[in-house]
Structure 1
């Protein structure tokens, strides 16, 4: 029998994202955040391409991005309540890590595998923050999928996109447990 790492297994079996709106300061300092990002960067990465990178968004940057959202939303015809919800996601945050999907040309590693690796980095960042004792949540939203917002607000290159925004902070209230998938419905076994 392989040796189990029971504390890690217990963490994974009970992990729970914290709603971003319940996260406040203090936030991890740079040293603590580098530990989280170091853990996140140990993600499966076929071909060692690193088709992702991090942008750490501190309070002033998040406020600047929040201010970009209303005029962009109005130009795009986004409903006012969706504009405000997206604006608050940035304005109310004290720290977020943007995981940038930055695909690399490769004859051996398909584009889709690079997408999966970027998604895995988002989950690894989220789990590393939670395991470090912080509250964390993985979000995106219509603005983070808009090329002009990403290029003007975050300096992304035209071939890059946001895989996720990982909000990290101090948890102010524990969320209730939520229903989990019924494994009898979503698992099938193939024996032959």
Structure 2
């Protein structure tokens, strides 16, 4: 897939099934994260790749968070099943590094670029994915389960796999609504 085609046709794919990326394809996805813009080469990110029993472990973390938050039984029951919507989930965390020249927001942006790069590398190799956030990305008990410090951020969960459906086209947006040209 050509890079420009990839960028101009990108869309999230929520319906995912096996196979998940593995071997060289997975290595390419992980290596792409390391190429994200990274001021001062801080690499302020950490990723947890969940497959197999790892998806069950992630589901247990979500379930515990739902219980701690007093969610009703249907939410608690659903929480443990959420990671099973794909054969692979990559938890994306920005581990803030105190640095006078690289503020928190720039480190979060850099980490987010790494997630985007992983999704694009997956799509370029024939896989699909969706980057989900939601309440569990902001939940303190989930952050604690991943040993996050108070200034760290869970940027979300990158679900990856193979889609049984054709990629959904995104509606075109008027560029004039979002861009100004100063000449």
Using the size of structure 1 for normalisation, the TM-score is 0.84
| Count of matched residue pairs | 183
Residue 119 of structure 2 corresponds to residue 126 of structure 1: yes
- Alignment correspondent of 1:28: 21
* The one of 137, 153, 158 aligned to 1:161: 153
- Give the structure 1 partner of residue 53 of structure 2: 60
CA distances 1:82-102 after superposition (whole Å, capped 9, x unpaired)? 555544321333211111101
In structure 2, what is the Cα distance between the partners aligned to 1:190 and 1:90? 45
In the other structure, the counterpart of 1:3 is none
Q: Is the 8 A contact 1:36 1:132 kept in 2?
A: no
TM-score, normalised by the number of residues in structure 2: 0.87
**Alpha-carbon distance in 1 for matches of 2:79, 2:171:** 26
Question: Which sits farther off after the overlay, 78-87 or 99-108?
Answer: 78-87
The Cα of 1:53 is off from its aligned counterpart by: 1.8
Q: Where do residues 3-22 of structure 1 align in structure 2 (5 Å cutoff)?
A: 7-19=2-14, 22=15
* Structure 2 CA distance for partners of 1:190 and 1:183, relative to 1, 3 Å: same
Cα distance, 1:149 vs structure 2: 1.7
Q: Could you say what secondary structure the match of 1:54 adopts?
A: strand
Residue correspondence of structure 1 range 109-188 to structure 2 within 5 A = 109-152=102-145, 154-188=146-180
CA contact under 8 A between 1:59 and 1:93: conserved in structure 2? no
Structure 2 residue runs of 5 or longer lacking an equivalent are none
Q: CA deviation at 1:7?
A: 2.3
